[in-house]
Structure 1
Amino acid sequence: MAEFTLHDETTAPEESRPHLAAGKKRMGFVTTLNAVMAESPELLAGYNALAEQFGKSSLPGPAKHVVWITASVVNGCEYCVAAHSTVALKNGVDAAAVEALRAGKPLADGALEAVRALTESMVADRGWVSDEQVERFLAAGYTRRHVLDVVLGVGMKTLSNYTNHIAHTPLDPAWADQAWTRD
Protein backbone atom coordinates (compact mmCIF):
# COMPACT_ATOMS: atom_id res chain seq x y z
CA MET A 1 0.00 0.00 0.00
CA ALA A 2 1.30 3.45 -0.91
CA GLU A 3 1.74 5.72 2.07
CA PHE A 4 0.35 9.25 1.73
CA THR A 5 1.56 12.08 3.94
CA LEU A 6 -0.90 13.94 6.11
CA HIS A 7 0.35 17.46 5.51
CA ASP A 8 -0.23 20.49 7.67
CA GLU A 9 0.45 24.16 7.07
CA THR A 10 4.17 23.63 7.71
CA THR A 11 4.81 20.47 5.66
CA ALA A 12 2.56 21.03 2.67
CA PRO A 13 3.96 22.24 -0.62
CA GLU A 14 3.96 26.04 -0.65
CA GLU A 15 1.21 26.16 -3.29
CA SER A 16 -1.10 24.08 -1.07
CA ARG A 17 -0.82 26.20 2.04
CA PRO A 18 -3.42 28.84 1.11
CA HIS A 19 -5.84 26.05 0.19
CA LEU A 20 -5.26 24.30 3.52
CA ALA A 21 -5.96 27.63 5.23
CA ALA A 22 -9.18 28.04 3.24
CA GLY A 23 -10.29 24.51 4.14
CA LYS A 24 -9.44 25.14 7.78
CA LYS A 25 -11.51 28.33 7.73
CA ARG A 26 -14.46 26.47 6.17
CA MET A 27 -14.31 23.40 8.46
CA GLY A 28 -12.65 24.75 11.62
CA PHE A 29 -9.63 22.45 11.30
CA VAL A 30 -7.44 20.88 8.63
CA THR A 31 -9.26 17.70 7.72
CA THR A 32 -7.24 14.60 7.01
CA LEU A 33 -8.79 14.67 3.53
CA ASN A 34 -7.29 18.11 2.86
CA ALA A 35 -4.06 16.98 4.52
CA VAL A 36 -3.76 14.15 1.99
CA MET A 37 -4.87 16.28 -0.97
CA ALA A 38 -2.24 18.89 -0.10
CA GLU A 39 0.38 16.65 -1.76
CA SER A 40 -1.14 17.91 -5.04
CA PRO A 41 -1.79 21.66 -4.84
CA GLU A 42 -3.91 21.40 -7.97
CA LEU A 43 -6.14 18.67 -6.56
CA LEU A 44 -6.64 20.56 -3.31
CA ALA A 45 -7.33 23.82 -5.16
CA GLY A 46 -9.78 22.07 -7.48
CA TYR A 47 -11.59 20.36 -4.64
CA ASN A 48 -11.89 23.57 -2.64
CA ALA A 49 -13.11 25.45 -5.72
CA LEU A 50 -15.77 22.82 -6.39
CA ALA A 51 -16.81 22.88 -2.72
CA GLU A 52 -17.16 26.66 -2.86
CA GLN A 53 -19.14 26.58 -6.10
CA PHE A 54 -21.41 23.75 -4.97
CA GLY A 55 -22.07 25.71 -1.77
CA LYS A 56 -23.26 28.61 -3.95
CA SER A 57 -25.31 26.38 -6.24
CA SER A 58 -29.06 26.72 -6.63
CA LEU A 59 -29.87 23.50 -4.76
CA PRO A 60 -31.47 24.01 -1.35
CA GLY A 61 -29.21 23.25 1.62
CA PRO A 62 -30.76 19.89 2.57
CA ALA A 63 -30.56 18.75 -1.07
CA LYS A 64 -26.82 19.46 -1.10
CA HIS A 65 -26.37 17.16 1.90
CA VAL A 66 -28.40 14.50 0.09
CA VAL A 67 -26.05 14.73 -2.91
CA TRP A 68 -22.91 14.52 -0.73
CA ILE A 69 -24.08 11.55 1.33
CA THR A 70 -25.69 9.65 -1.54
CA ALA A 71 -22.67 9.96 -3.85
CA SER A 72 -20.39 8.87 -1.02
CA VAL A 73 -22.57 5.86 -0.15
CA VAL A 74 -22.76 4.71 -3.77
CA ASN A 75 -18.98 5.13 -4.09
CA GLY A 76 -18.44 3.32 -0.76
CA CYS A 77 -16.43 6.17 0.78
CA GLU A 78 -16.39 5.54 4.52
CA TYR A 79 -14.61 8.82 5.27
CA CYS A 80 -17.05 11.02 3.33
CA VAL A 81 -20.20 9.28 4.57
CA ALA A 82 -19.07 9.89 8.17
CA ALA A 83 -18.02 13.49 7.48
CA HIS A 84 -21.13 14.48 5.56
CA SER A 85 -23.47 12.71 7.98
CA THR A 86 -21.94 14.74 10.81
CA VAL A 87 -22.21 18.00 8.90
CA ALA A 88 -25.77 17.25 7.74
CA LEU A 89 -26.93 16.58 11.29
CA LYS A 90 -25.18 19.71 12.52
CA ASN A 91 -27.02 21.68 9.83
CA GLY A 92 -30.44 20.42 10.84
CA VAL A 93 -31.03 17.61 8.36
CA ASP A 94 -33.49 15.17 9.90
CA ALA A 95 -31.72 12.27 11.63
CA ALA A 96 -34.09 9.74 10.05
CA ALA A 97 -33.23 11.10 6.61
CA VAL A 98 -29.51 10.85 7.33
CA GLU A 99 -29.93 7.24 8.47
CA ALA A 100 -31.94 6.37 5.35
CA LEU A 101 -29.25 7.96 3.14
CA ARG A 102 -26.50 6.01 4.92
CA ALA A 103 -28.48 2.80 4.30
CA GLY A 104 -29.18 3.66 0.65
CA LYS A 105 -32.91 3.71 1.32
CA PRO A 106 -35.58 6.05 -0.12
CA LEU A 107 -36.41 9.23 1.77
CA ALA A 108 -39.88 10.08 3.06
CA ASP A 109 -39.63 13.65 1.74
CA GLY A 110 -40.58 13.46 -1.94
CA ALA A 111 -38.43 16.38 -3.07
CA LEU A 112 -35.32 15.10 -1.29
CA GLU A 113 -36.03 11.58 -2.54
CA ALA A 114 -35.92 12.95 -6.09
CA VAL A 115 -32.43 14.34 -5.35
CA ARG A 116 -31.33 11.05 -3.82
CA ALA A 117 -32.62 8.99 -6.75
CA LEU A 118 -31.03 11.25 -9.37
CA THR A 119 -27.70 11.32 -7.53
CA GLU A 120 -27.70 7.56 -7.01
CA SER A 121 -28.41 6.97 -10.70
CA MET A 122 -25.83 9.53 -11.79
CA VAL A 123 -23.06 7.90 -9.75
CA ALA A 124 -24.03 4.27 -10.33
CA ASP A 125 -24.56 4.75 -14.07
CA ARG A 126 -21.50 7.01 -14.53
CA GLY A 127 -23.62 9.91 -15.71
CA TRP A 128 -25.80 7.92 -18.11
CA VAL A 129 -29.00 8.96 -16.34
CA SER A 130 -32.16 8.02 -18.23
CA ASP A 131 -34.44 10.68 -19.63
CA GLU A 132 -37.19 9.23 -17.43
CA GLN A 133 -35.05 9.73 -14.30
CA VAL A 134 -34.39 13.36 -15.24
CA GLU A 135 -38.10 13.89 -15.93
CA ARG A 136 -39.00 12.47 -12.47
CA PHE A 137 -36.51 14.90 -10.92
CA LEU A 138 -37.99 17.83 -12.85
CA ALA A 139 -41.54 16.73 -11.94
CA ALA A 140 -40.55 16.96 -8.26
CA GLY A 141 -40.15 20.72 -8.72
CA TYR A 142 -36.51 20.99 -9.71
CA THR A 143 -35.08 22.70 -12.77
CA ARG A 144 -32.51 21.86 -15.42
CA ARG A 145 -30.09 24.06 -13.50
CA HIS A 146 -30.61 21.84 -10.46
CA VAL A 147 -29.77 18.78 -12.60
CA LEU A 148 -26.44 20.38 -13.51
CA ASP A 149 -25.85 21.42 -9.89
CA VAL A 150 -26.16 17.75 -8.93
CA VAL A 151 -23.48 17.02 -11.56
CA LEU A 152 -21.27 19.60 -9.81
CA GLY A 153 -21.81 17.97 -6.40
CA VAL A 154 -21.10 14.51 -7.79
CA GLY A 155 -17.90 15.83 -9.37
CA MET A 156 -16.80 17.25 -6.04
CA LYS A 157 -17.49 13.94 -4.29
CA THR A 158 -15.69 11.98 -6.99
CA LEU A 159 -12.48 13.85 -6.19
CA SER A 160 -12.75 13.24 -2.46
CA ASN A 161 -14.14 9.69 -2.63
CA TYR A 162 -11.40 8.50 -4.98
CA THR A 163 -8.68 10.26 -2.97
CA ASN A 164 -9.90 8.55 0.19
CA HIS A 165 -10.03 5.14 -1.50
CA ILE A 166 -6.45 5.44 -2.76
CA ALA A 167 -4.94 7.08 0.33
CA HIS A 168 -6.95 5.17 2.98
CA THR A 169 -7.51 8.55 4.63
CA PRO A 170 -7.87 8.18 8.40
CA LEU A 171 -11.15 9.41 9.83
CA ASP A 172 -10.99 12.72 11.67
CA PRO A 173 -12.08 12.55 15.33
CA ALA A 174 -14.81 15.11 14.49
CA TRP A 175 -16.55 12.50 12.31
CA ALA A 176 -16.09 9.49 14.62
CA ASP A 177 -19.64 9.49 16.00
CA GLN A 178 -20.94 8.95 12.46
CA ALA A 179 -18.41 6.30 11.41
CA TRP A 180 -19.78 4.17 8.57
CA THR A 181 -18.59 1.02 6.85
CA ARG A 182 -19.54 -0.13 3.40
CA ASP A 183 -21.06 -3.57 3.05
Structure 2
Amino acid sequence: MRETDLRFAEHTVDTAPAGSVKAMEGIVKNLGFLPSMTARQSESPELLNGFLRMSALFESVTLEPVAREVLIMTVAARNECGFCVRMHAGKLEELGVGADVVEALEGQQPLEDDALEAVRVFTHAVMDRAGAVSDAQLEAFYAHGYSKRQALEVVLGIGTYTLSTFANRLVERGEHLS
Protein backbone atom coordinates (compact mmCIF):
# COMPACT_ATOMS: atom_id res chain seq x y z
CA MET A 1 0.00 0.00 0.00
CA ARG A 2 1.27 3.44 -0.87
CA GLU A 3 0.26 6.35 1.30
CA THR A 4 -0.67 9.25 -0.93
CA ASP A 5 -1.13 11.85 1.80
CA LEU A 6 2.36 12.55 3.10
CA ARG A 7 1.15 14.65 6.02
CA PHE A 8 1.04 13.11 9.46
CA ALA A 9 -2.33 13.24 11.21
CA GLU A 10 -2.56 15.46 14.25
CA HIS A 11 -4.16 12.91 16.54
CA THR A 12 -6.22 13.54 19.61
CA VAL A 13 -6.60 11.05 22.44
CA ASP A 14 -9.75 9.90 20.62
CA THR A 15 -8.05 9.26 17.25
CA ALA A 16 -4.57 8.12 18.28
CA PRO A 17 -3.45 4.52 18.27
CA ALA A 18 -4.32 2.91 21.61
CA GLY A 19 -0.66 2.58 22.59
CA SER A 20 -0.20 6.36 22.46
CA VAL A 21 -3.24 7.45 24.48
CA LYS A 22 -1.80 7.12 28.00
CA ALA A 23 1.34 9.04 27.01
CA MET A 24 -0.72 11.78 25.37
CA GLU A 25 -2.90 12.12 28.46
CA GLY A 26 0.22 12.40 30.62
CA ILE A 27 1.64 15.14 28.41
CA VAL A 28 -1.61 17.10 28.57
CA LYS A 29 -1.60 16.74 32.35
CA ASN A 30 2.02 17.97 32.57
CA LEU A 31 1.90 20.79 30.01
CA GLY A 32 -1.77 21.70 30.02
CA PHE A 33 -1.97 21.07 26.26
CA LEU A 34 -0.90 18.58 23.61
CA PRO A 35 1.88 19.94 21.36
CA SER A 36 1.12 19.41 17.69
CA MET A 37 4.40 17.53 17.23
CA THR A 38 3.38 15.04 19.93
CA ALA A 39 -0.04 14.67 18.36
CA ARG A 40 1.65 13.70 15.08
CA GLN A 41 4.29 11.47 16.67
CA SER A 42 1.51 9.53 18.38
CA GLU A 43 1.09 7.72 15.04
CA SER A 44 3.89 5.51 16.40
CA PRO A 45 3.28 4.52 20.02
CA GLU A 46 6.76 2.98 20.08
CA LEU A 47 8.43 6.24 19.09
CA LEU A 48 6.34 8.39 21.43
CA ASN A 49 6.70 6.09 24.42
CA GLY A 50 10.36 5.42 23.67
CA PHE A 51 11.15 9.13 23.59
CA LEU A 52 9.26 9.75 26.83
CA ARG A 53 11.15 6.94 28.59
CA MET A 54 14.50 8.18 27.29
CA SER A 55 13.62 11.75 28.27
CA ALA A 56 12.72 10.63 31.79
CA LEU A 57 16.02 8.77 32.03
CA PHE A 58 17.89 11.85 30.85
CA GLU A 59 16.10 13.97 33.45
CA SER A 60 17.48 11.64 36.15
CA VAL A 61 21.17 12.00 35.22
CA THR A 62 23.76 13.80 37.33
CA LEU A 63 24.19 16.72 34.93
CA GLU A 64 22.60 19.83 36.42
CA PRO A 65 19.27 20.96 34.86
CA VAL A 66 20.80 23.97 33.07
CA ALA A 67 23.59 21.80 31.63
CA ARG A 68 20.96 19.32 30.39
CA GLU A 69 19.03 22.12 28.72
CA VAL A 70 22.23 23.47 27.14
CA LEU A 71 22.80 20.02 25.65
CA ILE A 72 19.21 19.79 24.42
CA MET A 73 19.34 23.26 22.87
CA THR A 74 22.67 22.42 21.24
CA VAL A 75 21.18 19.32 19.60
CA ALA A 76 17.95 21.14 18.67
CA ALA A 77 19.73 24.10 17.07
CA ARG A 78 22.16 21.89 15.22
CA ASN A 79 19.34 19.68 13.92
CA GLU A 80 17.27 22.76 13.02
CA CYS A 81 14.23 21.77 15.05
CA GLY A 82 12.50 25.10 15.56
CA PHE A 83 9.81 23.58 17.78
CA CYS A 84 12.45 22.07 20.09
CA VAL A 85 14.45 25.29 20.21
CA ARG A 86 11.36 27.28 21.22
CA MET A 87 10.26 24.74 23.80
CA HIS A 88 13.67 24.42 25.46
CA ALA A 89 14.35 28.15 25.29
CA GLY A 90 11.28 28.43 27.51
CA LYS A 91 12.67 25.81 29.88
CA LEU A 92 15.97 27.67 30.13
CA GLU A 93 14.09 30.86 30.95
CA GLU A 94 12.12 28.99 33.65
CA LEU A 95 15.48 27.92 35.11
CA GLY A 96 16.49 31.58 35.34
CA VAL A 97 18.97 31.56 32.48
CA GLY A 98 19.40 34.92 30.77
CA ALA A 99 18.26 35.71 27.26
CA ASP A 100 21.90 36.06 26.19
CA VAL A 101 22.50 32.35 26.81
CA VAL A 102 19.32 31.37 24.98
CA GLU A 103 20.22 33.58 22.01
CA ALA A 104 23.76 32.18 21.87
CA LEU A 105 22.45 28.62 21.89
CA GLU A 106 19.86 29.39 19.22
CA GLY A 107 22.59 30.93 17.08
CA GLN A 108 25.06 28.12 17.85
CA GLN A 109 27.47 30.64 19.35
CA PRO A 110 29.87 30.26 22.31
CA LEU A 111 28.58 30.78 25.85
CA GLU A 112 30.26 33.07 28.36
CA ASP A 113 29.87 30.56 31.21
CA ASP A 114 32.90 28.27 30.89
CA ALA A 115 31.24 25.18 32.38
CA LEU A 116 28.16 25.47 30.17
CA GLU A 117 30.36 26.19 27.16
CA ALA A 118 32.22 22.96 27.94
CA VAL A 119 28.90 21.08 27.69
CA ARG A 120 28.04 22.79 24.41
CA VAL A 121 31.48 22.14 22.89
CA PHE A 122 31.62 18.54 24.12
CA THR A 123 28.13 17.86 22.75
CA HIS A 124 29.27 19.09 19.33
CA ALA A 125 32.46 17.02 19.57
CA VAL A 126 30.52 13.84 20.38
CA MET A 127 28.15 14.49 17.49
CA ASP A 128 30.90 15.48 15.05
CA ARG A 129 33.00 12.44 15.80
CA ALA A 130 30.17 9.93 16.38
CA GLY A 131 31.40 9.50 19.94
CA ALA A 132 35.08 9.03 19.07
CA VAL A 133 36.21 12.25 20.75
CA SER A 134 39.90 12.95 21.15
CA ASP A 135 41.70 12.74 24.47
CA ALA A 136 42.03 16.52 24.41
CA GLN A 137 38.27 16.98 23.95
CA LEU A 138 37.52 14.61 26.81
CA GLU A 139 40.12 16.25 29.05
CA ALA A 140 38.66 19.69 28.27
CA PHE A 141 35.24 18.44 29.39
CA TYR A 142 36.68 16.95 32.59
CA ALA A 143 38.64 20.16 33.28
CA HIS A 144 35.32 21.89 33.99
CA GLY A 145 34.42 19.46 36.75
CA TYR A 146 32.54 16.93 34.67
CA SER A 147 33.01 13.19 35.16
CA LYS A 148 33.24 10.04 33.04
CA ARG A 149 29.68 9.28 34.01
CA GLN A 150 28.59 12.69 32.76
CA ALA A 151 30.45 12.18 29.49
CA LEU A 152 28.24 9.13 28.96
CA GLU A 153 25.19 11.12 30.06
CA VAL A 154 25.96 13.52 27.22
CA VAL A 155 25.69 10.55 24.84
CA LEU A 156 22.31 9.66 26.35
CA GLY A 157 21.12 13.24 25.92
CA ILE A 158 22.29 13.39 22.33
CA GLY A 159 20.54 10.11 21.52
CA THR A 160 17.33 11.17 23.22
CA TYR A 161 17.10 14.56 21.58
CA THR A 162 18.32 13.43 18.19
CA LEU A 163 15.37 11.04 18.21
CA SER A 164 13.05 13.90 19.15
CA THR A 165 14.41 16.43 16.67
CA PHE A 166 14.44 13.97 13.78
CA ALA A 167 10.88 12.83 14.54
CA ASN A 168 9.68 16.43 14.87
CA ARG A 169 11.22 17.40 11.56
CA LEU A 170 9.72 14.35 9.84
CA VAL A 171 6.17 14.91 11.10
CA GLU A 172 6.39 18.65 10.52
CA ARG A 173 7.36 18.31 6.87
CA GLY A 174 3.81 17.62 5.74
CA GLU A 175 2.89 21.20 6.64
CA HIS A 176 5.24 22.42 3.95
CA LEU A 177 4.00 20.17 1.14
CA SER A 178 1.60 21.53 -1.40
Of the three residues 94, 97, 103, the one matched with 1:93 is 97
Q: Does 1:22 align with 2:20?
A: no
2:123: which partner in 1? 119
Where does 1:41-60 land on structure 2 (aligned, <5 Å)? 41-60=45-64
Of the three residues 154, 164, 168, the one matched with 1:164 is 168
Structure 2 gap ranges (5+): none
Q: Aligned in 2, Cα 1:79/1:120: closer, same or farther, shift over 3 Å?
A: same
Larger Rg: 2
- The C-alpha deviation readout for 1:89-147, integer Å capped at 9, x for no partner, is 12212211111111111111111010010112222333332221111001110001111
* Shift, 1:170, TM fit: 9.2
The answer to whether the 8 Å contact 2:8/2:174 transfers is no
- The C-alpha deviation readout for 1:34-53, integer Å capped at 9, x for no partner, is 11111000100100001111
Count residues in correspondence.
171
1:175: which partner in 2? none
Structure 1 gap ranges (5+): 172-183
1:105: which partner in 2? 109
* Shift, 1:67, TM fit: 0.5
Secondary structure, aligned partner of 1:30: coil
The answer to whether the 8 Å contact 1:32/1:169 transfers is no
Where does 1:65-84 land on structure 2 (aligned, <5 Å)? 65-84=69-88
Comparing 22-31 and 108-117, the one that deviates more: 22-31
Q: What is the alpha-carbon distance in structure 2 between the residues aligned to residue 44 and residue 118 of structure 1?
A: 27
The answer to whether the 8 Å contact 1:65/1:88 transfers is yes
TM-score (normalizing by structure 2): 0.89
The answer to whether the 8 Å contact 1:32/1:170 transfers is no
Secondary structure, aligned partner of 2:167: helix
- Taking only the aligned residue pairs, the percentage that are identical comes to 38
- After TM superposition, which residue ranges in structure 1, 4 or more long, deviate above 3 angstroms? none
2:157: which partner in 1? 153
Please give the root-mean-square deviation of Cα atoms over the aligned residues, in Å.
Answer: 1.8
Q: Aligned in 2, Cα 1:133/1:150: closer, same or farther, shift over 3 Å?
A: same
* Shift, 1:62, TM fit: 0.5
Q: What is the alpha-carbon distance in structure 1 between the residues aligned to residue 118 and residue 69 of structure 2?
A: 13
* Shift, 1:169, TM fit: 6.4
